[in-house]
Chain A
Amino acid sequence: MDSQTQEYQEYYVPTQSYFPIVASVSLFCLAFGAASVLTAVENTGDMGMIMLFTGFILLFFVIISWFTKVAAESRDGLYSAQMDVSFRWGMGWFISSEVMFFAAFFGALFYIRVFSVPWLGGEGDKGVSNMLWEGFVSQWPLMTTPDPSLFKGPAQVVDPWHIPLLNTILLISSSLTLTLSHKALKLNNRTWTSIWLAVTVVLGAVFLYYQVLEYHEAYTELGLTLSAGVYGSTFFILTGFHGLHVTIGTIMLLCILVRVLEGEFTGKKHFAFEAVAWYWHFVDVVWVGLFIFVYIL
């Protein structure tokens, strides 16, 4: 305990900051703007677009300035070892909450596959619900929905052994290259840090390119759309939110790459790098879940 007191360094409590309030205003603009655009209640459509746009600008501004400020504070040596632990816990629990966000969609997928679709098809404990659409046959992927006049099922589903397999290879190798980059940074080998990091960013971008290609194919050739019954719903919500996370992750990696090239981080102190790496590995793990449960099975 005594050694703890001796090592004690004051915990940095930042002075007043305008970031939180601007960020809140930006969220308000985004939420209100998006809702107005979607509902398009008389005359609020245009206003909605303006608010949405303002919200994005403010958010962009806040994110840039907030992170710049944090990086500057870190360079000024304001962050003690204890502060570093705070950041680690913070990022860790943030990722946990993200895991639960995906868990909601995976849970929906499992419930639909294991319970609701078989029940609608007359199987199992609650098979009596088959009376709603008599003759509906339970199958997965759900090619024919109970009421095809409302939700026309997909003609085909995505073949897991083409683009999805390629994407799996891309993402898993990107996790590998990111780890190599991290190892290089720990050894203070900045050239290889940047090279492997750049490769990771490229792999992420190529993944996204193929994801867009797959969506395009799904919509134009396979008839697999958001409104193609519950298969399309679960497919797009899971892969869509994953793709969004890959996009965010790639942007974050790019920012880290810029900071590495500008000579920031040391072999010992580089939490921003690590946080983004954690996030990237999390996105990778989610993809493995997707590949298995959405594409293959």
Chain B
Amino acid sequence: MTTGTEQITAAEIETAEAGQNESFEGVQADTDKHTDATEHHHGPAKGISRWFFTTNHKDIGSMYLWFSLVMFMVGGCMALMVRTELFQPGLQFIQPDFFNQMTTMHGLIMVFGAVMPAFVGLANWMIPMMVGAPDMALPRLNNWSFWILPFAFSIMLMTLFMEGGGPNFGWTFYAPLSTTFAPPSVTYFIFAVHMMGISSIMGAINVIVTILNMRAPGMDMMKLPLFVWTWLITAFLLILVMPILAGVVTMMLMDIHFGTSFFNAAGGGDPVLFQHIFWFFGHPEVYIMILPAFGIVSEIIPTFARKKLFGYSSMVYATSSIAFLSFIVWAHHMFTVGMPLAGELFFMFATMLIAVPTGVKVFNWVATMFRGSMTFETPMLFALAFVVLFSIGGFSGLMLAIAPADFQYHDTYFVVAHFHYVLVPGSIFSIMAAAYYWLPKWTGNYYDEKMGKIHFWLSFIGINITFFPMHFVGLAGMPRRVPDYALQFADFNAVSTVGAFLFGFSQLLFIYNVVCCIRKKNQASKQVWEGAYGLEWTLPSPAPYHSFTKPPKVD
């Protein structure tokens, strides 16, 4: 614990400069004394067992984040394979069946392996520090939630090497493609999904319990940082919809192996039933991937605009409304399956309603920046790009919400453009922003700002070159999930592929920057960012192994 003592001394020196967080000041002194008094507390264990057996929210958060980064690279390589094949019309590099496996696995890995674990990792790291808790509420369960994931994804990736290949039915695994016409490996896929579901549900329970029960005295619900709020709502969504996913894959399993006919009209079932259940899970799922991003951006923009977040309570209500609406819009993914007209209309209008709370959020972010003293460090750049590009994705979503128009856009590259605009410069950029924003707190060192900015600009340019042309080819009628296409789409596809490689390879800069940040000593202060506000900035950088063994008092 010698390092611990050093941190405390550093903390004492810094106490003077933490201007923003003075309301926590008295508290901090308390915490420091307490750390001194409880020297016998267990620090990190030595060796590899630390990671296998840990119960520490920071260790588990780091493991989630590294796992997510690895999966991001794996899923990214698959995307690059897809883009390579699509560089030119005709079949050049891979066969259609393998192409289908790549699009499917790319989607599954990015959704369940990269974005979701990254957010859970951030939640693990930040929520206990932000609410003034010693750790997550159920630490052993927390570690279990993480360790299920590497095993689940090993099964998922193993399917690629099985007879008949891996899942090739798209990440939405519609029946009967995923039942009657699926490769044998689909059974492994089903069980892997079950494992991910167990992990997510336990993780979500942990987050909710931590937020509801572990807040420091005085940390009222309406004082919670917005990242915590958005995660609380996300966790509710997870608990409510992951079991639905488990239910639908169970029905698939029964149809494949036990002779049932849930998704087979010959026995009285309905393949469209699959889509209804899947999207009842799937639509809240896409908000699971964006609400924490809203939270991150709502933390970062006030810091670098040096103003309090505009409309805090309206942000909370907007997030809750979005979460509620996410349960009644699922069938907008299936306007073309032949729903009754009343259904089409209901889901169209309900979907459009979502634009209202989302608009409130975007307005609040812009209003926060209005007349602020802004600076443009890397996290802020990513957050700004988030606001602009996510809005573009939101607008194309609004276009897709119009049922009659959707008959033209459905299953075209326009849809691909839409959801990549909300997921890449939306979710992924927010994760990058969060990583840069909190890296100094995690590692105790500043990252290389210049390299961070280069990474940002390359990513920003890369993704726009990749995904913007997809709007055009989509509107012109290029279907998604095809390895070959008509000649008229050739130019835009070539451009997209170039952009994809630019974006993909520029992520190596990020990895290099993170590794340097961990290794090189460029001591960060406790406050890290001049305008940062919140309990996590009252702790030394790097944050001590146990955050608040005694709860701080928040006024």
Interface residues of A (CB under 8 A from B): 1, 4-5, 8, 10-11, 13-21, 23-25, 27-28, 30-32, 34-35, 38-39, 41-42, 66, 82, 85-86, 89-90, 93-94, 96-101, 103-105, 107-108, 111-112, 115-117, 119-120, 124-126, 129, 132-133, 142, 145-147, 150-151, 225-227, 229-234, 236-237
CB nearest neighbor in A for B266: A147
How far is the CB of A167 from the nearest CB of chain B, in Å? 23
- Residues from chain B with a CB closer than 8 A to the CB of A232 are 260
- Residues from chain A with a CB closer than 8 A to the CB of B146 are 20
CB nearest neighbor in B for A229: B267
Best-buried of B184, B191, B250 by chain A (most CB within 10 Å): B191
The answer to whether A39 touches B209, judged by C-beta atoms less than 8 angstroms apart, is no
Q: Is B272 an interface residue (CB 8 A)?
A: yes
Task: Select one of B162, B190, B240, B260 contacting A41, CB under 8 A.
Answer: B162
The answer to whether B53 touches A41, judged by C-beta atoms less than 8 angstroms apart, is no
The answer to whether B244 touches A18, judged by C-beta atoms less than 8 angstroms apart, is no
How far is the CB of B231 from the nearest CB of chain A, in Å? 14
- Residues from chain B with a CB closer than 8 A to the CB of A34 are 191
Assuming A13-B55, A21-B143, A230-B268, is B240 touching A104 (CB within 8 A)? no
The answer to whether B209 touches A86, judged by C-beta atoms less than 8 angstroms apart, is yes
Given A93-B208, A233-B251, 4 further pairs, Cβ under 8 A: A14-B139, A41-B162, A151-B261, A230-B269
Q: Is B265 an interface residue (CB 8 A)?
A: yes
Assuming A11-B133, A13-B134, A107-B280, is B260 touching A24 (CB within 8 A)? no
Secondary structure of the A contact surface, majority rule: helix
The answer to whether A19 touches B144, judged by C-beta atoms less than 8 angstroms apart, is yes
List residues of B (173-194) whose CB comes within 8 Å of A's CBs: 184-185, 187-188, 190-192, 194
How far is the CB of A20 from the nearest CB of chain B, in Å? 4
Task: Select one of A11, A100, A101, A103 contacting B214, CB under 8 A.
Answer: A11
Assuming A19-B144, A120-B268, is B251 touching A108 (CB within 8 A)? yes
Secondary structure of the B contact surface, majority rule: helix
- Give Cα A225–Cα B527 distance, bound, in whole angstroms: 66
- Residues from chain A with a CB closer than 8 A to the CB of B507 are none
The answer to whether A226 touches B254, judged by C-beta atoms less than 8 angstroms apart, is yes
Task: Select one of B194, B213, B250 contacting A31, CB under 8 A.
Answer: B194
Task: Select one of A8, A25, A117, A227 contacting B551, CB under 8 A.
Answer: A8
Assuming A20-B144, A89-B209, is B270 touching A116 (CB within 8 A)? yes
- Give Cα A35–Cα B138 distance, bound, in whole angstroms: 31
Task: Select one of B49, B151, B243 contacting A104, CB under 8 A.
Answer: B243
List residues of B (126-163) whose CB comes within 8 Å of A's CBs: 133-135, 137-141, 143-144, 146-148, 150-152, 154-155, 162-163
How far is the CB of B45 from the nearest CB of chain A, in Å? 6
The answer to whether B244 touches A108, judged by C-beta atoms less than 8 angstroms apart, is no
How far is the CB of B400 from the nearest CB of chain A, in Å? 23
- Residues from chain B with a CB closer than 8 A to the CB of A94 are 201, 205
- Residues from chain B with a CB closer than 8 A to the CB of A82 are 213-214
Assuming A27-B198, A32-B155, A105-B247, is B139 touching A13 (CB within 8 A)? yes
- Residues from chain A with a CB closer than 8 A to the CB of B56 are 13
List residues of B (37-58) whose CB comes within 8 Å of A's CBs: 42, 45, 49-50, 52-56
How far is the CB of B250 from the nearest CB of chain A, in Å? 7
Q: Is B242 an interface residue (CB 8 A)?
A: yes
16 contacts between A and B (CB under 8 A): A24-B150, A28-B154, A31-B188, A39-B187, A41-B162, A86-B137, A86-B213, A101-B246, A103-B244, A107-B277, A116-B270, A120-B265, A125-B341, A227-B267, A229-B261, A230-B269
Q: Is B352 an interface residue (CB 8 A)?
A: no
- Give Cα A19–Cα B145 distance, bound, in whole angstroms: 12
How far is the CB of B103 from the nearest CB of chain A, in Å? 22
Interface residues of B (CB under 8 A from A): 42, 45, 49-50, 52-56, 133-135, 137-141, 143-144, 146-148, 150-152, 154-155, 162-163, 184-185, 187-188, 190-192, 194-195, 198, 201, 204-206, 208-209, 212-214, 217-218, 239-244, 246-248, 250-251, 253-254, 257-262, 264-270, 272-273, 276-277, 280, 338-342, 546, 549-551, 553
Assuming A18-B52, A111-B273, A125-B340, is B205 touching A100 (CB within 8 A)? no
- Give Cα A17–Cα B56 distance, bound, in whole angstroms: 11
- Give Cα A1–Cα B220 distance, bound, in whole angstroms: 12
The answer to whether A101 touches B243, judged by C-beta atoms less than 8 angstroms apart, is yes
Task: Select one of A1, A101, A142 contacting B217, CB under 8 A.
Answer: A1
The answer to whether B550 touches A10, judged by C-beta atoms less than 8 angstroms apart, is yes
The answer to whether B268 touches A145, judged by C-beta atoms less than 8 angstroms apart, is yes
Best-buried of B205, B206, B253 by chain A (most CB within 10 Å): B205
The answer to whether A14 touches B140, judged by C-beta atoms less than 8 angstroms apart, is yes
- Residues from chain B with a CB closer than 8 A to the CB of A119 are 270
- Give Cα A227–Cα B264 distance, bound, in whole angstroms: 11
- Residues from chain A with a CB closer than 8 A to the CB of B212 are 89
- Give Cα A86–Cα B142 distance, bound, in whole angstroms: 13
How far is the CB of B531 from the nearest CB of chain A, in Å? 28
The answer to whether A146 touches B266, judged by C-beta atoms less than 8 angstroms apart, is yes
The answer to whether A15 touches B260, judged by C-beta atoms less than 8 angstroms apart, is no
Best-buried of A14, A24, A120, A124 by chain B (most CB within 10 Å): A24
- Give Cα A11–Cα B151 distance, bound, in whole angstroms: 31
How far is the CB of A79 from the nearest CB of chain B, in Å? 12
Assuming A31-B195, A32-B155, A100-B239, is B217 touching A19 (CB within 8 A)? no
The answer to whether B217 touches A31, judged by C-beta atoms less than 8 angstroms apart, is no
- Give Cα A236–Cα B251 distance, bound, in whole angstroms: 11
The answer to whether B192 touches A31, judged by C-beta atoms less than 8 angstroms apart, is yes
The answer to whether B209 touches A112, judged by C-beta atoms less than 8 angstroms apart, is no
Task: Select one of A11, A98, A226 contacting B243, CB under 8 A.
Answer: A98
Assuming A13-B139, A31-B194, is B265 touching A24 (CB within 8 A)? no
- Residues from chain B with a CB closer than 8 A to the CB of A25 are 151
